[in-house]
Structures are given as structure tokens and as C-alpha cells.
Copies of this chain bind each other. A is one copy, B any other.
Amino acid sequence: MKTFDKRLEVKIKGINLKNPVMTASGTFGYGEEFSDFMDLSDLGGIIVKGTTGTHREGNPYPRMAETPSGMLNAVGLQNKGVDVFCETVYDRIKSYDTNIVVNVSGSTIEEYVEVAEKINALEKIPAIELNISCPNVKKGGMGFGTDCLMASQVVEAVRKVYHKTLIVKLSPNVTNIVEIAKSVEGAGADSLSLINTLLGMAIDAEKRKPLLSTITGGLSGPAVKPVALRCVWQVAKNTKLPIIGLGGIMNATDAIEFILAGATAIQIGTANFIDPAISSKIVAGLSEYLDRHNLKSFDDIRGII
């Protein structure tokens, strides 16, 4: 049997993670897509695709553009809806030896509540990540994550029906991320993940056309890492919730920067596209760092910036 490095274990409220490394929603499918490349049980957790109340087709093609050290996407929450998830996808993935977290999205409070309630019934899903920060949908999405009142309302409503670990994913497209974080903390969130994508845009100067069908889209990848680190650091200093940091993490060094900024766990997004086994390599890199720096765990250096 495989043995895991016990020094890497972390807790996020109700759940135990083998290690701080999770994969980010929308970038790792349902995990299955990557099982040829790595052992999924190496991971602390997998956040599956954004799931909504009903089937969504998402935005028209083109949905992707590369930018300097980053990429824009405008997928727009394409998914088959929560019922298909519960009835077919869940059965395929429930036995993975890692924490499967469902990224819950919606256009209305009712939709978030409906999805959360249905996921609450699934035994092997220990947590949801409430996506109140998606820049790629016309209604709802980021709107909830950029207003303190709306953010706390949706979290409160979901909290009533969802009884396991409730992670809320925040948007960096705000004037004051600490205020939003505090509202969400007050409304009953167990943990925060940050950041979702930055709102951006790309243009083809020769064709004089936007590169995305939706004109604007969500920026991710190394380009956003400085902004993500700043958000994690600001929120870690000003709330008590465990934080899951993400945004441009490409290797173990980047992951450790987020831990130094105050993150308990981290997520790998865009990097999965470049090296489909990167998340498992980052787990190994974290162990190496502890060895090299002669540390018992990351507890001693978490948030020391």
C-alpha cells in the first residue's frame, strides 16, 4: 500500500486532507480525465466542475484565448445539471480515495440552495465550494460575490440546507475583498477559496475582433498569481477561516508562497493543462521543501508574511 507523508495533512473544518493540494473547479473535469496521468489518491482533494440546477450549454465557441502568462476562458458553467451529477457522475467517482468537493453555481439563491441540498444527500461528498464568483455568466455568478449583502444572503440560505463543510469561493474583481470575506464568514461559511478568475478581455488586432464569443472572460494562470497572493494574504490577516489559495500556481514553490501568505490548502487550475500530472508532483515538492528546510509541517510557517 502507498504511504503518504503525514507531515502534509491538514484540516479544513470538518474534513481531513492528506495534503494541501486540491485541483480547481473547471480545470480538472471530474478527475477521471486525469487518471491516466497520475494516481488521484495522491491528492488532498478534487473540486469538480461547476454544477447548476439544470443542464447548461454554456457560452458559444470560441471560449479560450491565451494571454501573456495567462489564459482567458468563457466556458460559462457548461454542465449537465445537478440531477445528472447525482445520478450518474457521482457513482463513477465516489470511490476515489480523496475528498471530492462539488463546485455549486447558480443564477438565483433558490438555485444555489437546490443544488446544495441535493449534494448534501450524497454520502461521499464531504464539502461543497459555493461559486459566487464566476465572471462568465450573465445572471448571478460574480454578482453574488461582489456585493457583501448578496454574498451573505446566498451563503446564509445555503448554510440552512447544507450541513457539511461549506467552502465559499470569492472573486478578486472587488474593491475590498476583506469586506466580502467577512460577510461570508458571518453568514456561516466554514472556509474560503480565493481567487476565481480576473475579468479580462483579448482582441485580435489583425481581424479586429474579440477573441472570445462573450468579449470578456476570466483570466487565470501565472499572470494572476501576484493578485491571488495579495487576496489570500489580506483575507488571512482579517478573518479566522481556513483559506484555500489558488491563482497561477504552477509548481511547489508557488504553492508554498500561498501557504506563507496564510493558506491552509491550495488548488491547481490552469497548470493541469500544461502538465496533467502536476498536482501530484506538487505534493512531492511540498515534502521536499519540508525536508530541505527541516520543518515538521507547514504549521510553523503558515501565514508568517
A: residues with CB less than 8 A from B are: 67-70, 72, 146-147, 173-176, 198-203, 205, 208-210, 215-216, 219, 221-227, 229-230, 233, 248, 253-254, 256-257, 260-261, 289, 301, 304-305
Asked if residues A200 and B305 are in contact (CB atoms below 8 Å), the reply is: no
Task: For the complex, give the distance between the alpha carbons of A182 and B146 in Å.
Answer: 19
- Chain B residues near A72: list those with CB within 8 A: 226
Task: For the complex, give the distance between the alpha carbons of A70 and B254 in Å.
Answer: 16
Closest chain B residue to A201, Cβ basis: B230
Some 14 contacts from A to B, beta carbons below 8 A apart, are A67-B225, A69-B223, A70-B226, A173-B175, A174-B174, A174-B175, A199-B230, A200-B227, A201-B233, A203-B257, A205-B254, A205-B257, A205-B260, A223-B226
Closest chain B residue to A204, Cβ basis: B257
Closest chain B residue to A222, Cβ basis: B68
Task: For the complex, give the distance between the alpha carbons of A147 and B175 in Å.
Answer: 9
Asked if residues B257 and A229 are in contact (CB atoms below 8 Å), the reply is: no
Asked if residues A68 and B223 are in contact (CB atoms below 8 Å), the reply is: yes
Task: For the complex, give the distance between the alpha carbons of A257 and B211 in Å.
Answer: 11
Task: For the complex, give the distance between the alpha carbons of A254 and B201 in Å.
Answer: 12
- Chain B residues near A260: list those with CB within 8 A: 203, 205, 208
Asked if residues A209 and B67 are in contact (CB atoms below 8 Å), the reply is: no
Task: For the complex, give the distance between the alpha carbons of A165 and B146 in Å.
Answer: 34
Copies in the complex: 2
Task: For the complex, give the distance between the alpha carbons of A199 and B173 in Å.
Answer: 11
**Nearest Cβ distance between residue A21 and chain B, in whole angstroms?**
15
- Chain B residues near A221: list those with CB within 8 A: 68
- Contact partner of A68 (CB less than 8 A), chosen from B209, B248, B289, is B248
- Chain B residues near A175: list those with CB within 8 A: 146-147, 173-175
- Contact partner of A199 (CB less than 8 A), chosen from B146, B202, B227, B289, is B227
- Chain B residues near A219: list those with CB within 8 A: 226-227
Q: Point out which of A222, A225, A226, A304 has the most chain B C-beta atoms below 10 A from its C-beta.
A: A226
Asked if residues A226 and B200 are in contact (CB atoms below 8 Å), the reply is: yes
Contact (A226, B201) CB under 8 Å given A173-B175, A175-B173: yes
Task: For the complex, give the distance between the alpha carbons of A176 and B146 in Å.
Answer: 9
- Contact partner of A223 (CB less than 8 A), chosen from B216, B223, B256, is B223
- Chain B residues near A203: list those with CB within 8 A: 229, 257, 260-261, 305
- Chain B residues near A210: list those with CB within 8 A: 305
- Chain B residues near A226: list those with CB within 8 A: 67, 70, 72, 198, 200-202, 219, 223
- Chain B residues near A223: list those with CB within 8 A: 68-70, 222-224, 226
**Nearest Cβ distance between residue A235 and chain B, in whole angstroms?**
12
**Nearest Cβ distance between residue A138 and chain B, in whole angstroms?**
15
- Contact partner of A225 (CB less than 8 A), chosen from B68, B227, B229, is B68
**Nearest Cβ distance between residue A249 and chain B, in whole angstroms?**
11
Task: For the complex, give the distance between the alpha carbons of A198 and B173 in Å.
Answer: 11
